[in-house]
């Protein structure tokens, strides 16, 4: 769907759905509560909040992604998972960009950066803008599994998903977090009231992002983390010998313990002050206030 068609659809919806917020100039904050579960965050790609039945953007999204009517299925499946990526019951298409990712490479870096590992590729499967947000291997129900979807996005397959009764339209395109997709509305200066997502669109050039795929260094410039559990090494701040979601960690996918996206981020959300409180911003594991998350690793 072109940008012009999407904007036309949005204007048409405003006339038939009076309960929807009027479009306004500039950015708008999320309407999700960011409390309780992933269902109440932007990572709920059905865009239907479970807290109070609020539908933050579902009507707009119905045109450009399949509403699978389940939150978890956009990333996970109990059966027929993607076998090309060592991630828990992974259901998303895993497309690696030709030539790999452009890596961070500054002179101050004390280690060698390698290509992102599984605990970064899961995040990048949306955030690099190469794959539609609804491109999955196994759709809910029977008969909706496609092995080719593990590495290739097949829109013909995605189009077989029927329009749910609650949706106002069947998806006619399958948007990625890219300029031609989600960012055609979710960018600054478009005067359509859509939240600016451009900062979340990392792309395939990681040279200006905190390095991933790099071993955690040792020495006086780094705080030691000595607790391990399986393939994870972590800062065991509460001494319970397991990597809790509010503790930074490093993953060994074959090259030693490395920094990955999931070292600092939990896609399901981390309560800011215990159960029932709002999640930390941008799905961080540790608060950024006072540079706490940075100083967990760095001695400065």
pLDDT at 225: 87
The domain segmentation of the chain, as residue ranges, is: 1-102+128-203, 216-297
What order do you get walking across the sheet with 232-234 strand by strand? 214-215, 257-259, 249-252, 232-234, 227-229
pLDDT at 108: 76
pLDDT at 226: 83
- 3 state SS for the chain: CCHHHHHHHHHHHHHHCCCCCCCCCCCCCCCCCCCCCHHHCCCCCCCCCCCCCCCCCHHHHCCCCCCCCCCHHHCECCCCCCCCCCCCCECECCCCCCCCCECCCCCCCCCCECCCCHHHHHHHHHHCCCCECCCECECCCCCCECHHHHCCCCHHHHCCCCCCCCCCCCCCCCCECCCCCHHHCCCCCCCCCCCCCHHHCCCCECCCCCCCCEECCCCCCECCCCEEECCEEECCCCCCCCCCCCCCEEEECCCCEEECHHHHECCCCCECCCCCCCECHHHECCCCHHHHHHHHHECC
Q: Give the residue among 219, 12, 189, 205 at the shortest CA–CA distance from 111.
A: 219
Tell me the pTM: 0.88
pLDDT at 53: 59
pLDDT at 51: 65
pLDDT tens across the length of the chain (300 residues): 444 444 444 443 333 333 333 333 344 567 788 999 999 999 999 988 776 656 766 788 899 999 999 999 999 999 999 999 999 999 999 998 999 999 998 877 778 899 999 999 999 999 999 999 999 999 999 999 999 999 999 999 999 999 999 899 999 999 999 999 999 999 988 867 788 899 999 999 999 999 999 999 888 999 998 899 999 999 999 999 999 999 999 999 998 999 999 999 999 999 999 999 999 999 999 999 999 999 999 999
Q: Give Cβ neighbours of residue 199 (< 8 Å, ≥ 6 apart).
A: none
């Amino acid at each position: 769907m072109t940008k012009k068609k999407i904007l036309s659809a949005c204007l048409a919806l405003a006339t038939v759905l009076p309960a929807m917020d009027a479009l306004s100039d500039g950015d708008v904050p999320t309407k999700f509560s960011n409390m309780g579960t992933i269902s109440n965050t932007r990572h709920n790609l059905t865009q239907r909040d479970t807290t109070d039945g609020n539908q933050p953007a579902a009507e707009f999204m119905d045109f450009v992604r399949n509403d699978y009517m389940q939150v978890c299925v956009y990333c996970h499946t109990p059966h027929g998972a993607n076998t090309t990526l060592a991630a828990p019951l992974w259901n998303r298409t895993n497309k690696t960009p030709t030539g790999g990712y452009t890596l961070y490479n500054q002179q101050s870096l004390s280690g060698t950066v390698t290509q992102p590992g599984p605990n970064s590729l899961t995040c990048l499967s949306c955030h690099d803008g190469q794959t539609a947000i609804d491109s999955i291997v196994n759709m809910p129900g029977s008969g909706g599994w496609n092995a080719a979807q593990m590495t290739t996005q097949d829109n013909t397959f995605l189009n077989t998903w029927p329009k749910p009764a609650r949706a106002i339209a069947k998806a006619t395109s399958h948007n990625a977090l890219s300029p031609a997709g989600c960012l055609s509305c979710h960018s600054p200066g478009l005067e359509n009231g859509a939240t600016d997502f451009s900062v979340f669109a990392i792309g395939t050039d990681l040279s200006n992002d905190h390095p991933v795929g790099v071993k955690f260094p040792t020495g006086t410039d780094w705080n030691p983390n000595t607790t391990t559990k399986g393939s994870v090494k972590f800062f065991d701040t509460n001494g319970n010998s397991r990597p809790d979601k509010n503790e930074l960690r490093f993953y060994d996918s074959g090259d030693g313990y490395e920094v990955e996206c999931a070292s600092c981020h939990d896609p399901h959300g981390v309560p800011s002050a215990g159960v029932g409180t709002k999640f930390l911003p941008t799905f961080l594991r540790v608060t950024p206030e006072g540079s706490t998350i940075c100083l967990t690793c760095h001695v400065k």
